[in-house]
Amino acid sequence: MTDLSPAAVADATRYFDTWLAFRQHYDRVPGVQAAVLHHDKLLLSTAHGFADDERSVALTPQHLFRIASHSKTFTATAVLQLAERGVLRLDDQAGQWLPFLSGRPLATVTVRELLGHSGGVVRDSRNGDFWQLAHAFPDEEQLRAILVDDADVLPANERFKYSNIGYSMLGLIIAAASGRTYHDYVRKNIVDELGLVNTGPEYDTARAGDYATGYTALAYADRRIPIDHVDTAAMAAATGFYSTAEDLVQYASAHFLGDTRLVSDASKRLMQRAEWKIEGANSEYGLGFGRAVVGERLVHGHGGGYPGHITRTWFDPVDQIAVSVLTNAIDGPALMLAEALFRLVNLAQRAERQDGTGVDLSRFTGRFANLWRVFDVVDLAGQLYLLDPTDQDPTAQPVTLEVVDERTLRLRDGSGYGPVGETMQYRYDDTGVSSVAAFAMTAHPAARVTEAAKRRDRVSPGTPLVS
């Protein structure tokens, strides 16, 4: 997609923030932090919910999250920087840089194969219970032991096989090729180069109080339990990084085409093109970056799963828009939330502005509720839509609304089971919209319905939820 209107992106982003606030509560996620950037303009940096649920500490855009496998994009960027400088080649075999692999199967795996998860390397070793904090993540000595102990699970280039151990190997290769530690190299050549003050390659104990607390899932318990932060040791290149949503969209912008702060466009195309179609998923993988089509838009990026934090960043390098969503629960819906931004942008881009009505569309917009449902009336690029915020994709069944007069909208389309062609009648008072007659029932501003529900213990004949 091209010729993306800044106004369409701004409108989509504005609604996206209100939708995130709804989803944070609806999905029972402790906290959601998010950011949106278009070209070089930060459109949104927001946070909803709690950084520490037990202590009722509100989440802010400055709280740090463990972004886990986002680390692979930093590692891939570092490798491509070294390749551009002629320090290493993507076709170098691992054994060239890691002599301890001599005579072992992984010695012949190439840098490119490691970047694209096609080296057939074991995913997390034979004992990955460090992911459950049963024991520490492997240090360099333990990582070396893993690599020489039958870590070659499949033949190279047989299929896409995701491997945290393979990316940990790349951390060792970067250190060997650059003559610096992995941490020092990525901090100097990526983090500091972009001025990312809230990003680093490993858990920083000096900033322990700045991190959002991570929580367990609701799939196996009725309440969430806090999870302590731990160091990822020799696996930092695969999963160690921390950041904020705001820093991550700034980092993503360095991977827009035309931006040469980190690597050339030639290297970006190499990283962003498809190396593998991922079996069992509607996505592909390049060299350190995932690829997916969201609506009709090709986006690139990565997710991260750390004990207590689930995160996702997507960007469109052509239209130069990036979104990052960070959640502090091990079942946090970061992927679904991040994709929604692009779906909203796509819908706004298709909008047909309704001109000539002479009516301020903002008088109709907002979130409304009745006993049966919650619905949003949204202005996207001059077109009013009725959206359902409870849908994981809020654009799945958008209903186009047309202005009849300053108090009336008509549902122009929608499901045949809905009131297509019928009207929505607005009533106003000194505070704005007081009620909306829609779907043959009376709805009220959602905040009013929420407050009414807190005061009620039963809905009975003659006593509706909101009177």
pLDDT in tens, 99-118: 999 999 999 999 999 999 99
Residue 1 has pLDDT above 60, yes or no: no
- Per-residue confidence band for 367, with pLDDT thresholds at 50, 70 and 90: very high
Q: Write down the pLDDT at residue 355.
A: 57
pTM listed for this prediction:
0.96
Residue 291 sits in the same domain as residue 372: no
Residue 85 has pLDDT above 90, yes or no: yes
Establish if 183 belongs to a structural domain. Answer: yes
Residue 27 has pLDDT above 80, yes or no: yes
Give residue 125's domain range: 60-312
Pinpoint the alpha helices (H) of 87-151. Answer: 94-97, 111-115, 140-147
**Among 201, 158, 168, 30, which residue's Cα sits nearest to residue 94?**
168
Establish if 20 belongs to a structural domain. Answer: no
Residue 264 sits in the same domain as residue 181: yes
Amino acid symbol at 399: V
- Per-residue confidence band for 2, with pLDDT thresholds at 50, 70 and 90: low
Q: Write down the pLDDT at residue 356.
A: 54
Residue 118 sits in the same domain as residue 255: yes
How many domains is the chain partitioned into structurally? 2
- List strand residue ranges (DSSP E) for 19-69, in order: 31-38, 41-52, 57-58, 65-66
- DSSP 3-state of 27: coil
Give pLDDT tens digits for 293-347: 998 899 999 999 999 999 999 999 999 999 999 999 999 999 999 999 999 999 9
Residue 237 has pLDDT above 90, yes or no: yes
**Average pLDDT in the chain:** 95
Residue 203 has pLDDT above 80, yes or no: yes
- List strand residue ranges (DSSP E) for 307-371, in order: 309-316, 321-327, 366-369
Q: Each residue of 153-175: b (16+ CB within 10 Å) or e?
A: eeebbeebbebbbbbbbbbbbbb
Residue 150 sits in the same domain as residue 65: yes
Residue 296 sits in the same domain as residue 414: no
Residue 291 sits in the same domain as residue 419: no
Q: Write down the pLDDT at residue 296.
A: 85
Establish if 66 belongs to a structural domain. Answer: yes
Residue 367 sits in the same domain as residue 438: yes
What 8-state DSSP symbol labels residue 122?
A: -
Establish if 182 belongs to a structural domain. Answer: yes
Residue 3 has pLDDT above 80, yes or no: no
Residue 357 has pLDDT above 90, yes or no: no
* For range 119-123, the mean pLDDT: 97
- Per-residue confidence band for 350, with pLDDT thresholds at 50, 70 and 90: confident
Establish if 415 belongs to a structural domain. Answer: yes
Residue 186 tokens, joined: 């990525």
Residue 429 has pLDDT above 60, yes or no: yes
Q: Write down the pLDDT at residue 405.
A: 95
Lowest mean pLDDT among 28-37, 172-181, 457-466: 457-466
Rounded to the nearest 5°, which phi and psi values hold at 142?
A: -70, -35
Tell the burial category of 120 from Cβ atoms under 10 Å away from its Cβ (0-12, 13-18, 19+).
buried
Q: Write down the pLDDT at residue 31.
A: 98
Residue 225 sits in the same domain as residue 149: yes
* End residue of a domain, out of 312, 335, 350: 312
CA distance 163 to 169: 10
* For range 69-74, the mean pLDDT: 98
Between residues 354 and 360, the one the model is more confident about: 360
- Per-residue confidence band for 234, with pLDDT thresholds at 50, 70 and 90: very high
Instruction: List the CATH number of the domain containing 162.
Output: 3.40.710.10
Residue 44 tokens, joined: 């949104």
Establish if 321 belongs to a structural domain. Answer: no
Residue 415 has pLDDT above 90, yes or no: no
Residue 153 sits in the same domain as residue 243: yes
Cβ proximity of 60 and 270 under 8 Å? no
Residue 285 sits in the same domain as residue 392: no
**Among 292, 375, 296, 388, which residue's Cα sits nearest to residue 335?**
292
Cα 271–272–273 angle (5° rounding)?
100
Cβ proximity of 46 and 31 under 8 Å? no
User: Side by side, which strands form the sheet with 57-58?
Assistant: 57-58, 41-52, 31-38, 321-327, 309-316, 297-306, 290-294, 284-285, 276-277
Residue 238 sits in the same domain as residue 369: no
CA distance 304 to 407: 46
